[in-house]
């Protein structure tokens, strides 16, 4: 079934409306602080919604129902880890971030260990975020292909061009408030899809329960312990431990989320925003997983082929089963998610590029004392840095367009796996900074290198499940960095005593 004129009109109205809405925030962009932190004027509830919209991608909307369709809802155990990780960030990470005026997470690493460590940490973020966002952008092509029959490259260019326009112009303030607008749209569309799919099944909820009972699809908890069994990827232990470490890394060290936390009016509002986002995320993943079970019943409880991707299930339902108008709203909602992710990633990639690698621009920011107020370009024209920030946004937009045209396989797990490979060493670095006073720059760099190399080896040569990558990487990085730091300190002390 092709889209009707009403569907196309709704989608076109959304794309035009959100672009113009984002562009309107250009008037408030006078400095780099405005462009990257939105002037620190956003209320906590808007930041909470922006955090949810940022970590909710097209992968989530397409891939999460597919997981439940092919298996069960044990993925929800990973979300429990997401909640635990947020609590640790509130208690351990955020107090450090608000002891100074920071634009990026990695400026804190520079103050603690020097510019070399900052450059390594920022580079890790840039590579990880670009690759992971490339997977997210590629995911939207499935929806566009199902709806319009267009090729992946065409759909990626269309979406990214519009995102680039309003992110280039409006900066972080545009990102946050378009996130709020896009969240309302995609959440409403998801609720509508949930009830419509349930309504379309003869017998309704009873039919769903009966179909799910055969394969135990409503199973939430699995207390078995396995590091290598693919059938046990989502267990209570891998969820709470792996999900907790993953969230500590993604929300505590990844500039895309940290930038929103730094944009809060105060440390207190930043903490409230992060915890509130966790409650919404838990409900949201539960909704998408149950939707996957409903779609399984709608398809007549088909035989599931192990290892096969079922990412097509939800897009197929949208295009073939939804009525005109509602179909357009839900497709626009999926576009909203893709645009929300891409805009946040573009702004954070640009922020880290401009601020963490300022030396490349020929000028440097002066990091003043925490009481001195906002950091500012030392002796530089603020307009020059604002222009540079916008052009860096454009550069990363082109990079993401290219990465979005790649074929990535089962998308939700592909995106999470890419991030998990590098997040462990990055998280280990931050834990060394926060928990070990005697950590040294040389020691933490050795720890990061060993941790990253170990996870690469584990990924390619062992059957360890990806849910354990971040805990393993963080532990190896922390222990190696701690030992190396003590060794370098001892060597330095012996050198001085001679």
* pLDDT computed for residue 146 by the predictor: 63
> 140: number of CA atoms within 13 Å, CB side?
32
Mean pLDDT of 480-490: 91
Considering the domain boundaries, does residue 269 fall inside one? Answer: yes
Contact by Cβ (8 Å): 486, 437: no
State mean pLDDT over 134-162.
74
pLDDT in tens, 393-416: 889 989 988 888 776 655 556 667
pLDDT at 147 over 80: no
Looking at 101-151, list the stretches that DSSP marks H as alpha helix, in order from N- to C-terminal side. 106-113, 115-148
State residue 363's pLDDT score: 52
Is residue 374 over pLDDT 50? no
Of 365, 355, 480, 347, the closest CA to residue 424 belongs to: 480
Domain-located, residue 439:
no
The residue to which tokens 């990973």 are assigned: 78
286-326 pLDDT, tens digit each = 999 999 999 999 988 888 887 777 888 888 888 888 888 88
State yes or no: pLDDT of 219 exceeds 50. Answer: yes
Q: What is the pLDDT of residues 221-252, one digit of tens each?
A: 989 887 877 767 888 998 999 999 999 998 99
Q: Which two tokens stand for residue 332?
A: 């626009």
Can you spell out the DSSP letters for 429-447?
HHHHHHH-TT--HHHHHHH
Class of residue 437 by CB neighbours under 10 A (exposed 0-12, middle 13-18, buried 19+): exposed
Computed from CA positions of residues 232, 236, 239, 244, in that sequence, does the dihedral angle turn out positive or negative?
negative
pLDDT at 413: 64
How does pLDDT run across 248-263, given as a tens digit for each residue? 998 999 888 998 999 9
What kind and span of H or E run contains 190?
Answer: helix 152-200
pLDDT-based confidence at residue 368 (cuts at 50, 70, 90): very low
pLDDT digits (tens, 9 = 90+) for 451-473: 999 999 999 999 888 889 999 99
Given a cut of 60, is residue 127 above it in pLDDT? yes
Q: Indicate the pLDDT class of residue 47, thresholds 50, 70 and 90.
A: very high
Instruction: Quote the pLDDT of residue 133.
Output: 81
| Structure confidence at residue 475 (pLDDT) | 96
CATH code for the domain in which residue 64 is found: 1.20.1730.10
Q: Are 66 and 309 in contact (CB under 8 A)?
A: yes
Percent over 70 (pLDDT), the chain: 89
Higher pLDDT, 386 or 466: 466
Average confidence score pLDDT of the chain: 84
486 in any annotated domain = no
According to the model, what pLDDT value does residue 2 have? 66
Mean pLDDT of 151-170: 80
Measured CA to CA, the distance from residue 265 to residue 243 in angstroms comes to 28
In angstroms, the CA 448 to CA 141 distance is 35
Whether residue 438 lies inside any domain: the answer is no
**How much is the pLDDT for 23?**
84
Q: Around Cβ 212, how many Cβ atoms within 10 Å?
A: 21
Residue closest to 21 by CA, chosen among 183, 186, 189, 177: 177
**Number of domains composing the chain:** 1
Q: What is the pLDDT of residue 63?
A: 82
pLDDT above 50 for 154: yes
So what's the pLDDT on residue 372?
Answer: 39
How many degrees, rounded to 5, is the angle at CA 171 between CA 329 and CA 108?
A: 120
Helix (H) or strand (E) holding 313: helix 313-321
In this structure, of 113-117, 388-392, 491-495, the range with the lowest mean pLDDT score is 491-495
**Residue 35: its pLDDT value, please?**
81
For every residue of the chain, which 3-state class applies, written as one string? CCCCHHHHHHHHHHHHHHHHHHHHHHHHCCCHHHHHHHHHCECHHHHHHHHHHHHCCHHHHHHHHHHHHHCCCCCHHHHHHHHHHHHHHHHHHHHHHCCCCCCCCHHHHHHHHCHHHHHHHHHHHHHHHHHHHHHHHHHHHHHHHHHHCCCHHHHHHHHHHHHHHHHHHHHHHHHHHHHHHHHHHHHHHHHHHHHHHHHHCCCCHHHHHHHHHHHCCCCCCCCCCCCCCHHHCCCHHHHHHHHHHHHHHHHHCCHHHHHHHHCECCHHHHHHHHHHHHHHHHHHHHHHHHHHHHHHHHCCCCCCCCCCCCCCHHHHHHHHHCCCCHHHHHHHHHHHHHHHHHHHHHHHHHHHHHHHCHHHHCCCEECCCHHHCCCEECCCCHHHHHHHHHHHHHHHHHHHHHHHCCCCCCHHHHHHHHHHHHHHHHHHHHHHHHHCCCCCHHHHHHHHHHHHHHHHHHHHHCCCCHHHHHHHHHHHHHHHHHHHHHHHHHHHHHHHHC
Q: What is the pLDDT averaged over residues 133-150?
A: 72
Domain assignment present for residue 375? The answer is yes
Q: Is the pLDDT assigned to residue 48 strictly greater than 90? A: yes
Domain-located, residue 496: no
Per the structure, the complete domain to which residue 192 belongs is given by 5-409
Comparing 184 with 26, the larger pLDDT belongs to 184
* pLDDT reported for residue 377: 42
Q: What is the pLDDT of residues 435-452, one digit of tens each?
A: 999 999 999 999 999 999
d(CA 278, CA 271): 11
Considering only residues 82 and 41, tell me which one the structure prediction assigns the higher pLDDT. 82
Evaluate whether residue 429 is within a structural domain: no
84 has a pLDDT exceeding 60: yes
Q: Is residue 437 part of a domain?
A: no
Q: Tell me the torsion sign for CA atoms 68, 74, 78, 84.
A: positive
């Amino acid at each position: 079934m092709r889209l009707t004129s009403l569907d196309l009109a709704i989608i076109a109205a959304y794309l035009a409306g959100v672009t113009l809405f984002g562009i309107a925030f250009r008037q408030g962009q006078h400095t780099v602080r405005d462009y990257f932190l939105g002037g620190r004027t956003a209320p906590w509830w808007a930041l909470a919604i922006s955090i949810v919209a940022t970590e909710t991608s097209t992968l989530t909307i397409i891939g999460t129902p597919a997981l439940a369709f092919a298996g069960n809802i044990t993925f929800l155990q990973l979300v429990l880890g997401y909640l635990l990780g947020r609590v640790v960030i509130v208690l351990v990470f955020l107090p450090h971030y608000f002891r100074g005026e920071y634009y990026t997470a990695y400026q804190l690493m520079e103050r603690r260990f020097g510019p070399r460590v900052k450059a390594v940490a920022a580079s890790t973020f840039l590579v990880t975020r670009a690759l992971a966002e490339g997977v997210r952008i590629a995911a939207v092509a499935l929806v566009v292909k199902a709806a319009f029959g267009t090729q992946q490259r065409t759909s990626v260019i269309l979406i990214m061009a519009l995102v680039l326009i309003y992110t280039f112009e409006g900066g972080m303030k545009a990102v946050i408030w378009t996130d709020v607008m896009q969240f309302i749209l995609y959440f409403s569309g998801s609720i509508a899809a949930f009830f419509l799919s349930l309504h379309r099944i003869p017998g309704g909820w009873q039919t769903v329960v009966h179909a799910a009972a055969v394969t135990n699809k409503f199973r939430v908890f699995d207390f078995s312990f396995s590091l290598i069994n693919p059938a046990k990827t989502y267990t209570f232990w891998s969820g709470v431990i792996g999900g907790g470490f993953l969230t500590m890394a993604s929300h505590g060290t990844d500039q895309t989320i940290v930038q929103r936390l730094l944009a809060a009016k105060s440390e207190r509002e930043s903490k409230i925003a992060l915890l509130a986002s966790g409650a919404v995320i838990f409900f949201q993943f539960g909704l998408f997983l149950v939707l996957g079970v409903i779609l399984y019943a709608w398809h007549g409880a088909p035989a599931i082929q192990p290892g096969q991707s079922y990412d097509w299930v939800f897009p197929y339902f949208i295009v073939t089963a939804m009525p005109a108008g509602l179909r357009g709203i839900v497709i626009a909602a999926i576009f909203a998610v893709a645009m929300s992710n891409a805009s946040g990633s573009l702004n954070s990639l640009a922020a880290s590029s401009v601020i963490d690698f300022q030396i490349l621009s020929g000028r440097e920011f002066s990091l003043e004392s925490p009481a001195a107020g906002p950091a500012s370009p030392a002796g530089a024209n603020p307009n020059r840095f604002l222009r540079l920030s916008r052009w860096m946004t454009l550069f990363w937009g082109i990079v993401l367009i290219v990465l979005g045209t790649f074929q990535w396989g089962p998308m939700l797990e592909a995106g999470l796996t890419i991030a998990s490979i590098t997040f462990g060493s990055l998280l280990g670095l931050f834990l060394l900074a926060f928990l070990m006073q005697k950590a040294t720059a040389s020691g933490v760099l050795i720890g990061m290198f060993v941790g990253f190399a170990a996870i690469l080896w584990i990924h390619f040569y062992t059957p360890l499940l990806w849910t354990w990558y971040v805990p393993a990487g963080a532990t190896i990085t922390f222990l190696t960095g701690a030992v190396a730091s003590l060794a370098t300190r001892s060597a330095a002390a012996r050198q001085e005593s001679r």
